[in-house]
Structure 1
Amino acid sequence: MTTTFRNFIFASCCLALVATGESVAQASKKKAKTAREAVVPTQKGPQVTKNDRQISEALFLDGMKYFMLEDYQQALQLFQKAYTVTPENAALNYKIGETYLQLKEPKTAMPFALAAVNLEKKNPYYYLLLSQLHSEQKQYDAAAQAFNNLLQNVPNSDEYLFNLADLYLAQSQYDNALRTYDRIEKQFGDMEQLHVNRQQIYLRQKKVDKAIAEGEKLLKSNPTEINYYLAQAELYNATQRPDEAIATINKALRLEPNNPFAHLMLSDLSRQKGDLETSNKEVKLAFASSQLDIDTKVRILVDFIRQLPNPQLEPIALELVDLTTQTHPSEAKAYAVAADLQTIVGKKETARNNYIKAVHLDNSHFKIWQQIVLLDAELEQPDSLVKHAEQALELFPNQAVFWFYSGTGHLITKNFTKAVKSLEHGKRLSNGEPELVMQFNMQLGDGYNSLKEFKKSDAAYEEVLTVDANNEHVLNNYSYFLSLRNENLERARQMSERLVKKHPNNPTYLDTHAWVLYRMGNYTEARKYLEQAVAISDDATVVEHYGDVLFKLGKQEEAVSQWQKAKLKGETSAFIDKKIKDKKLYE
């Protein structure tokens, strides 16, 4: 195609746009005016020469090119030049007004839109522009009046009643909107959308009875539209008419027996009436359907979660999460919400496994990874803890919490070098979070002690006690490790004594305090605390310690008897067999 021919086609299109106003039309079926009539309408001022018309037309067409390219400033300059030649051209005034609208200058556009309407009262697009400009300036009554003028002055324009009704509705002028719907119905006859719109207005006006009446009309004219049954049932329920709501839902289910939304609503209605058996049956039917979207299921399950723990709700809640994962096996959120609920009701291992399935589908959620490692720790599965913490670190390398769990897992599995490396790195990331730093120091104290780096261990413990002088983990472990090293025993005694005063029936704390006293040579006092401990606990270490104290007090046979008991109960010191065999104390 040659350039000349292309220009000819473009000019022809522009002339058509001038005639019809289609650049801003909202969709109309009106016939277009001819190009010549639109560009040079009947004039009210002095006669315009043929040359003037040609100049104006050329400028207008050039302006249209820039307008269509969205270069509105350049388009405006050309339109304004054309305006100086033919200021009473309605189409030109319209286009200048429209260009100012595009430049977000509705106030400046207004005189041109008014001029277009006054110059040519039968063009609907001029009124549409005028209404839009009034709306942009929040002059909504004037905008509505522009539509009313359009309807009055433009023949066969009743279709714009819908625009007028929308305008009233947007401004919450409900009575005006209702009157406009009456005009539409009179002109076009009974329409489904009119009943829907009226119903929405009545609901906003809290005229529920009128909304229900409109709903009945909808059902009468659309007896197979299930959504109208559901909406009507909701209205009955909102007006405390549950029996009518249930009857309406049952009609819906006769049309669509497997509709999950109908089953869900019937479940709610049955629960309100106290019929829990039916309620549970209906909600399971809804959840068994893949047509009930995952987001709706999640919202319902979250509501269950808020009500837990509750022995009455737990069985149905657990069934629903199973149904959710069965019907949405590729949705990460299905497994995540199932795990959330299972965690609350104590099914920790199942919950942890569902969280793992969730991250296999979508590994981007930090909180789910955090739940996984927390449950690993609670389940006392350190190998899994290390594995999952390190998987999380590949995704979130700057999240200190995963370094903490990685270090803790290595600490439990006695991989102390890796433990302190992870813990130190996490501690550096935790600057500015004193509580988290304290948690790292607690573990570092244990880790460095196991590596026999006692200065670092003591420093970590002391740092914790500076922040929390009554930290039970540190008071116990620090004092016990000092007693094993036979160092700073008075400091160890003060710490362990503080614990047993606060927790006189804790066998671990009683054993620690007794062992500090033992190291200080106070065997009588040590025996007193160990007797309390063995009365509460059968821990092998506590029983072995009790035998050691008895030996120091000259009770050899009783000591050997306690050592033998300790060996049977579990993990003991490396000397236990030699103690029993030689009936001597080895340390």
Structure 2
Amino acid sequence: MKIKKYLFASLFFGMLLFPAMVSAQAEPDDIALAEDKFQDNFYESLKQKGIENYDKAVVALEKCLAAQPENPVVNYELGKNYLSLKDYKKAYDYFQKASVLDPKNKWYYVGMYDVCYQTRDYNQAIVVVNKLIEFSPAYKEDLTALFMYTDQFDKALASINELDEAVGKTPQREAFKASIMKDSKYQLAEKDQLLAAIKKNPKDESKYIALILLYSDSNQEEKAFEIAKKLEKEIPDSEFAQVGLFKFHLNNNDGDKAILAMNKVFESKKIDSKIKYKTLNEFLIFAKNNPQFNADLDKAVSYFDNEQQVAMTKEIGKIFYAKKNWERAIHYLEIYSKNNPQEVEPNIFLLQAYAESAKFDALAKKSSELIDFFPLQPEFYYYSGLANNQLKNHKKAKEFLEMGLDYLLENRDLEINFNIQLGEAYNGLGDVKNKEKYFKKADQLLNQKNK
């Protein structure tokens, strides 16, 4: 550690100078004794700190400080121990004194920064971090975050743009920027800045794509298309231009041209996954209302890796489910269920989609499999009973429904449905008494619900 190297160097250097400064005033034996006491106390403090006896370490260091009040290392060590004791004011004061005594040692400012961060004094942390940047530009990342924490969004945005230019983008800075850009004031400034950057360097693809996304997010589709066309003109083989063209064609309801642009976006190795996800989501909304493009939607999903594909199928299936497009909902939910059999919710959506589309064989098979996975989940017993009633397997339906009732807790709607299906099962078995019993129970529950 640099601190340790500095520590021993300081001590050694101090010990060399100390006799020269006091030789005219003290006997050599007295000097050696003072040096020995200082070393003993200092190493005692290190020992006590190592076993987390910070109070005892402080006592030893205070003896060192009495002997050498201007020693920056002693002040720094006192700061560290007081920080461990959560005495933040004393910790900061000692770190600060160490930095005054030796302004060229980065670690004294790091100690001050640690105190500011732990006490959430972010405004003071900014002062300290600006000093640390003189030692290492990497602290500009910390400065950006501190600007965000203190709501200094103008400075944060300037810092983000500077770092993006210098070292490239990071997910953290992207998240910060997205938060800032929700404010239309910053969107306008960012657009102006990007337009100026494009004018200065018309071959920089990244500026075009950032501007296209800004215009798209603020529903300025015509301007987004204009920038995409400019990009295509300046860089004819640009893959980024396809993002803007895709949006334009989609908004013009030109599905064929939108698909051509979308596929180029997905095939690109330069366009990041965030943009690809956004493109897929927009096409999904379009495909919901234009079922002739379902095959193209399947192809779009196939561009992503297997894990991403599977995760998407759940959300896509639920969207088609909400639109009551049962066939497409089943298509995607089956994929998800196969890869995630342990999840309850998407499987319930799948079973209901089977029921809505009268696929009772599939419903009976899948619900039976799910009961093996989830023996305490009443919904799966219900769907098994429903399917078997529809398939005229009334005895099996009755058995599943009666078992499922044992696991039913405070779910009025499901309880009503259980009683209806039990009535159907007994009706199929020719048991009029029980048929009437369960239908009557369903009616009572329904009336209670409607009160």
| TM, length-normalised to structure 2 | 0.74
Per the alignment, in what secondary structure is the counterpart of residue 364 of structure 1?
A: coil
Q: Compared with structure 1, are the counterparts of its residues 265 and 109 closer, same or farther at alpha carbon in structure 2 (3 Å cutoff)?
A: same
Residues 321-355 of structure 1 show CA distances to partners (whole Å, capped at 9, x for unaligned) of 21134334733234434544555666534542442
**Partner Cα distance (2:168, 2:275) in 1:** 28
1:137 is matched with 119
Structure 1 residues 171-250: aligned runs within 5 Å: 171-173=150-152, 192-193=165-166, 206=185, 211-212=190-191, 214-215=193-194, 226-235=205-214, 240=220, 241-242=223-224, 244-250=226-232
Q: Could you tell me which amino acid in structure 1 is paired with residue 166 of structure 2?
A: Q
1:264 aligns with 2:243: yes
1:363 is matched with 341
Deviation at 1:296, TM superposition (A): 6.1
Per the alignment, in what secondary structure is the counterpart of residue 468 of structure 1?
A: helix
Q: Specify every segment of 5 or more residues in structure 1 that has no aligned partner in the other structure, as ranges.
A: 1-12, 22-31, 472-587
Corresponding residue to 1:464 among 422, 442, 446: 442
2:291 is matched with 314
Deviation at 1:295, TM superposition (A): 7.3
How many residue pairs match? The answer is 426
Per the alignment, in what secondary structure is the counterpart of residue 213 of structure 2?
A: helix
1:127 is matched with 109
Q: Compared with structure 1, are the counterparts of its residues 169 and 130 closer, same or farther at alpha carbon in structure 2 (3 Å cutoff)?
A: same
1:279 is matched with 258
Structure 1 residues 513-528: aligned runs within 5 Å: none
| TM, length-normalised to structure 1 | 0.59
1:90 aligns with 2:72: yes
2:246–2:257 contact (8 Å) kept in structure 1: yes
Q: Compared with structure 1, are the counterparts of its residues 324 and 61 closer, same or farther at alpha carbon in structure 2 (3 Å cutoff)?
A: farther
**Partner Cα distance (2:198, 2:56) in 1:** 57
Deviation at 1:466, TM superposition (A): 1.8
Structure index of larger Rg = 1
Q: Compared with structure 1, are the counterparts of its residues 252 and 409 closer, same or farther at alpha carbon in structure 2 (3 Å cutoff)?
A: farther
**Partner Cα distance (1:288, 1:179) in 2:** 33
Structure number with higher helix proportion: 2
Corresponding residue to 2:389 among 411, 417, 421: 411
Q: Compared with structure 1, are the counterparts of its residues 274 and 121 closer, same or farther at alpha carbon in structure 2 (3 Å cutoff)?
A: same
**Partner Cα distance (1:145, 1:353) in 2:** 58
1:36 is matched with 12
Per the alignment, in what secondary structure is the counterpart of residue 409 of structure 2?
A: coil
1:374 is matched with 352
1:394 is matched with 372
2:303 is matched with 327
Residues 152-211 of structure 1 show CA distances to partners (whole Å, capped at 9, x for unaligned) of xxxx75859847954763434467779999xxx9xxxx99339999x9699679355654
Q: Could you tell me which amino acid in structure 1 is paired with residue 60 of structure 2?
A: K
Q: Compared with structure 1, are the counterparts of its residues 141 and 433 closer, same or farther at alpha carbon in structure 2 (3 Å cutoff)?
A: closer
- Give aligned-pair identity as a percent: 19
Residues 411-448 of structure 1 show CA distances to partners (whole Å, capped at 9, x for unaligned) of 22332222111101112211322221111111111212
Deviation at 1:18, TM superposition (A): 3.5
Deviation at 1:401, TM superposition (A): 0.9
Corresponding residue to 1:81 among 39, 52, 60: 60
Q: Which structure's relative contact order is higher, taking Cα pairs within 8 Å and 6+ residues apart?
A: 2
**Partner Cα distance (1:144, 1:346) in 2:** 54
Per the alignment, in what secondary structure is the counterpart of residue 254 of structure 1?
A: coil
1:385–1:406 contact (8 Å) kept in structure 2: yes
Residues 244-269 of structure 1 show CA distances to partners (whole Å, capped at 9, x for unaligned) of 42234426863544x5xx42332124
2:360–2:387 contact (8 Å) kept in structure 1: yes
Q: Compared with structure 1, are the counterparts of its residues 389 and 41 closer, same or farther at alpha carbon in structure 2 (3 Å cutoff)?
A: farther
Residues 265-304 of structure 1 show CA distances to partners (whole Å, capped at 9, x for unaligned) of 3212444577666434323443566887887666555556
Q: Specify every segment of 5 or more residues in structure 2 that has no aligned partner in the other structure, as ranges.
A: none
